[in-house]
Structure 1
Amino acid sequence: MAVGSDGWAGMGGDWSDADDIRRRLDEGADPERWSGGRPLHRAAAFGSPEAVAVLARRVADVDALENGVTALWEAVLSRKADHARALAAAGADPWRPSLGGWSPGRLSLAGPTPELFPVPEGICLTDTERAAAQEAARLTMALGEFYYEGTGLACVTGIDAAEAVRRLQATPVDRELRDQLSELLEDPYAYDMDESLWFIGVTSVPGGCVVTQPWGYAPQMPGVLARLSAGTLCYGLYANPKSGNQGSIVRNGTIEGSDLHPGGGPDEDDTSAEVLASYLYRHNAVAYACAFADLRLNDGRAVVGPPDVWVELPHRDYWSC
Structure 2
Amino acid sequence: MTAVDDGWAGMGWDWTDHNEIRRRLDEGADPESCNGGRPLHRAALFGSPAVVAELADRVADVDALENGVTALWEAVLGRKPENARALAAAGADPWRPSIGGWSPGRLSLAGGTPDLFPVPAGVCLTAAERAAAQEADRLVTALGEFHYEGTGLACVAGIDAVEAVRRLEAVPVEDEVLDQLLEAPYEYDMDESLRFIGVTSVPGGCVVTQPWGYAPQMPGVLARLSVDTVCYGLYANPKSGNQGSTARHGSLEGWDLHPGGGPYEDDTSEEVLNSYLYQHRAVAYACAFVGLRPTDARAVVGPPDVWIELPDRDYWSG
- TM-score computed with the length of structure 2 as normaliser: 0.97
Is 1:233 paired with 2:230? Answer: yes
What is the aligned partner in structure 2 of residue 317 from structure 1? 314
Alpha-carbon distance in 1 for matches of 2:94, 2:186: 48
* 1:293-304 aligned within 5 A: 293-304=290-301
SS in structure 2 of the partner of residue 45 of structure 1: helix
> Which of 296, 304, 309 is equivalent to 1:307?
304
Deviations along 1:81-130, whole A, 9 cap, x unmatched? Answer: 00100100111000000000000000000000000000000000000000
What is the aligned partner in structure 2 of residue 218 from structure 1? 215
> Which of 261, 264, 269 is equivalent to 2:266?
269
> Which of 264, 286, 291 is equivalent to 2:288?
291
Alpha-carbon distance in 1 for matches of 2:14, 2:219: 39
What is the aligned partner in structure 1 of residue 245 from structure 2? 248
What is the aligned partner in structure 1 of residue 39 from structure 2? 39
What is the aligned partner in structure 2 of residue 127 from structure 1? 127
Alpha-carbon distance in 2 for matches of 1:96, 1:165: 49
Alpha-carbon distance in 2 for matches of 1:45, 1:113: 16
AA aligned to 2:174 is D
AA aligned to 2:277 is L
Is 1:5 paired with 2:2? Answer: no
> Which of 174, 191, 194 is equivalent to 1:194?
191
Structure 1 moving runs of 4+ over 6 Å: none
Is 1:85 paired with 2:82? Answer: no
Contact 2:181-2:188 at 8 Å conserved across structures: no
Alpha-carbon distance in 1 for matches of 2:289, 2:53: 37
SS in structure 2 of the partner of residue 117 of structure 1: coil
What is the aligned partner in structure 2 of residue 107 from structure 1? 107
Deviations along 1:154-194, whole A, 9 cap, x unmatched? Answer: 0000000000000001110011123223313xxx4333322
Deviations along 1:12-59, whole A, 9 cap, x unmatched? Answer: 121111111111111111111111511100110111111111111111
Contact 2:152-2:215 at 8 Å conserved across structures: yes
AA aligned to 1:312 is E
Unaligned runs of 5+ in 2: none
AA aligned to 1:103 is S
Alpha-carbon distance in 2 for matches of 1:233, 1:37: 39
SS in structure 2 of the partner of residue 165 of structure 1: helix
Percent of pairs with identical residues: 80
Alpha-carbon distance in 2 for matches of 1:203, 1:280: 25
Contact 2:197-2:216 at 8 Å conserved across structures: yes
Unaligned runs of 5+ in 1: none
Alpha-carbon distance in 1 for matches of 2:14, 2:249: 45
What is the aligned partner in structure 2 of residue 169 from structure 1? 169
Count of residue pairs the alignment pairs up: 316
- How far residue 313 of structure 1 moved from its aligned partner, in angstroms, is 0.5
Deviations along 1:241-286, whole A, 9 cap, x unmatched? Answer: 1111110110011222110000002111111000000000000100
Alpha-carbon distance in 2 for matches of 1:297, 1:12: 39
